[in-house]
Amino acid sequence: NRLLKLCSIYMLEVLGLVLVSGLLLKKLNLVTLTVISLVMLASALVTLRLGKRSLHIDTSEVRAILSSFLEHKLILVAAAAVFITLVFKFIAALLLVPYCYDSSAYHLPGIVDYIQNQKIFISEKLVWTNAYPRNIEMFNLWNLIYFRNGLTLKLAQYFITLTGGLAVYGILREEKVKRSLSLLAGLLFITTPAILAQMSTTYIDTALGSLFVTVLYFLLRYLRGKSTGDLFYTAVLLGLLLGTKSSGIGYYAVTIGVFAVAQLFEREKLTAIIKTISFVCLVSFIIGGIWYVLNLVNFHNPLYPFKVGILGHTVFEGQDVGKSIMEANTPQYLRGKSGFFQLLLSWIGFNFDYLKTLDFNGKVKEIFTTMYDEHLGGFGFQWLLILFPAFLIFLVKRIRDRAAVRTEIVMAAILILCFIITPANWWARYTCFFVLLGIYSLIKLTAEAKRSVYAVLLIVPFILVSCFQGSSFDLWSTEFAVNSYKFYAKNYPIRSGYVQMYGEDLKNITRELSTSEKGYDVLCFGIDVYMFYFQGDNTQNRIKSYYDTYDMYLKNYNINTYEKFRDIVKANPSDYIIVNYGFKDLMKKYVQEEKGYDVRLSMKDWAVLYKKTN
């Protein structure tokens, strides 16, 4: 409980520091952040001193958890395997550049702009750079602004995910389940392949899921004990959840709604319920609602860039989320199928038609590996074979025995409703929180069984397999990175973005843009620009990027004519211009007419690097 409170307050303080410095003061730099941090630390120490509180940290629960390993040697084996896996993923997170597509396209480029301009503002990048609520990105910024490279970027989501595992442990402990089995629940959550695979990346989905289960931990504690402290932490974590991703609005509304209904069933006074809900909404909106206010001010749509409608009437113009995001990302194998069959095929985790085309090694790799944005099978073998069946058995048992527990009903209602309202809920990374339903059911059934050792014997092998599934992509990537270091470290900065992951052409571009300590002004057309940010150990290159259809709702950069292309180049004097092959002819015409740039590097079927002439 104390650890979860500490993690929550730490996240709240970091978010507050960055937002105050970047939004209010417009001084988002090391000096401002450090000074405010020291003032907050001094204030905390004075408060503790005046309150005569001890700084001693009670580690009895941690010691008790460690001693509980001895209750089941099999659990000790599982815990050891998970520990080794987490250490490996920690090392891989430090070794590998942030390599994921969405990270390079929009999660990370904007925060470098914030650092370079010392403020949070509308960044001229891909639309998603500005559209998402950006709480997790602010934690990434906190790491980046101090270390000035990609070294610690992936650790923000890594540690938030560990917090989620701790919250799952706490939920079972609140149900009086013994420590060893509660620990097993936490291990099951962390080793869910989709969660384990993504936790060491700069995505935000496992952070969202982990914050969600931590919300449930404090909410369920409040329903049992009516502690104001638990209510406060529920509100704080709901705010962090709300400001993480747009889908958090739905989870936020469902949680608040179920919470209110639960209090009505407890026959609380209406005035007391209104007071409680108002407190939670006020605190959480202050923490997480700022991004929606900024969207409303800047784009005239709080859920920009998505269309918002009520009863068929459009309230805010925008894209249709189903068509622009979900349908576009649905695998061919799932297209045209009903929601039920999409879900079933995803939970099974295999594309049978594709498996038929592979040899034995290919089949093994396809079945037993999980990527950071896994489309099929992200919940792992354990979901369909033991976790979901455990939920069904647990549900029947509770109905048969008429032994419904209020907190269990609240938790199940929130998880099921949030799963239902999630777009593309077949996609495991979007709904990773849902595994809590199966984990809770399985561990409760195990705790109530006369011979729980047999259940543990069944569970542990799934954890061991999931450790491999969830770290398989890191294993491959780390080997690739080490070989890249071995052969190329003398020729380019060791921390340069993307050079470990791709071919010699990108290494040459990265090397070219790493020769100045002061950095370069770089104009990009039609490419992901993150690879040019983390050069060596600085973030000095100043990047502007334009796409074919940048932003139909605000900037309207639809570069479909030479005149528009020329105007952008003239308005942005740059040391280098990089164009992909969609813009190659426009740039060639510009050089012929306007001069000023020569070809520096040309990459087959990818892009051309132009350098400004003296």
pLDDT recorded at residue 443: 96
Q: Is the pLDDT of residue 497 over 50?
A: no
pLDDT band at 370 (very low <50, low <70, confident <90, very high): confident
Flag whether 576 is in a domain. yes
Output b/e per residue, 173-207; b: 16+ Cβ within 10 A.
bbbebebbbbbbbbbbbbbbbbbbbbbbbbbbbbb
Mean pLDDT of 544-570: 68
pLDDT recorded at residue 207: 96
pLDDT band at 318 (very low <50, low <70, confident <90, very high): confident
pLDDT recorded at residue 458: 92
pLDDT band at 556 (very low <50, low <70, confident <90, very high): very low
pLDDT band at 372 (very low <50, low <70, confident <90, very high): confident
Q: Is the pLDDT of residue 276 over 80?
A: yes
Alpha helical stretches, state H, 289-387: 290-299, 321, 328-329, 339-348, 352-355, 360-368, 381-382
Flag whether 267 is in a domain. no
**CA angle centred on 238, ends 236 and 244, rounded to 5°:** 105
pLDDT recorded at residue 602: 84
Q: List Cβ neighbours of 256 (8 Å cut-off, separation of 6 or more).
A: 238, 277, 280, 281
**CA angle centred on 233, ends 144 and 244, rounded to 5°:** 40
Alpha helical stretches, state H, 402-548: 406-421, 435-448, 452-488, 504-512
Q: Is the pLDDT of residue 496 over 80?
A: no
pLDDT band at 474 (very low <50, low <70, confident <90, very high): confident
pLDDT recorded at residue 543: 76
pLDDT tens digits, 201-223: 889 999 999 999 999 999 999 99
Alpha helical stretches, state H, 175-202: 179-190, 193-198
The domain in which residue 606 lies consists of: 504-612
pLDDT band at 490 (very low <50, low <70, confident <90, very high): very low
Mean pLDDT of the chain: 84
pLDDT recorded at residue 161: 97
In the chain, pLDDT over 70 holds for what percent of residues? 87
Flag whether 431 is in a domain. no
Q: Are 200 and 471 in contact (CB under 8 A)?
A: no
Q: Which of 14-23, 130-139, 386-395, 476-485 has the lowest mean pLDDT?
A: 476-485
pLDDT tens digits, 91-125: 888 877 776 777 777 788 788 888 888 999 887 66
pLDDT recorded at residue 216: 98
In the chain, pLDDT over 90 holds for what percent of residues? 44
Q: Are 275 and 235 in contact (CB under 8 A)?
A: no
Flag whether 318 is in a domain. no
Residue type, 476: W
* Range from 201-210, 362-371, 600-609 that averages highest in pLDDT: 201-210
pLDDT band at 373 (very low <50, low <70, confident <90, very high): confident
Flag whether 596 is in a domain. yes
Mean pLDDT of 474-487: 64
pLDDT recorded at residue 535: 45
Flag whether 135 is in a domain. no
- Nearest CA to 254 out of 136, 134, 412, 432 is that of 412
Phi, psi at residue 577, to the nearest 5°? -125, 130
pLDDT recorded at residue 499: 39
Q: How far is CA 350 from the centre of its chain?
A: 25
pLDDT recorded at residue 174: 93
Q: Are 534 and 495 in contact (CB under 8 A)?
A: yes
pLDDT band at 62 (very low <50, low <70, confident <90, very high): confident
Of residues 71 and 185, more confidently modeled: 185
pLDDT band at 507 (very low <50, low <70, confident <90, very high): low
pLDDT band at 233 (very low <50, low <70, confident <90, very high): very high
Helix, strand or coil, per DSSP, at residue 328: helix
Of residues 256 and 602, more confidently modeled: 256
In angstroms, the CA 592 to CA 322 distance is 43
Count: domains in the chain = 1
Q: Which of 25-34, 360-369, 477-486 has the lowest mean pLDDT?
A: 477-486
Flag whether 565 is in a domain. yes
pLDDT recorded at residue 484: 53
In angstroms, the CA 428 to CA 433 distance is 9
- Nearest CA to 158 out of 470, 427, 494, 387 is that of 470
Q: Which of 19-23, 348-352, 536-540 has the lowest mean pLDDT?
A: 536-540
pLDDT recorded at residue 405: 85
Flag whether 54 is in a domain. no
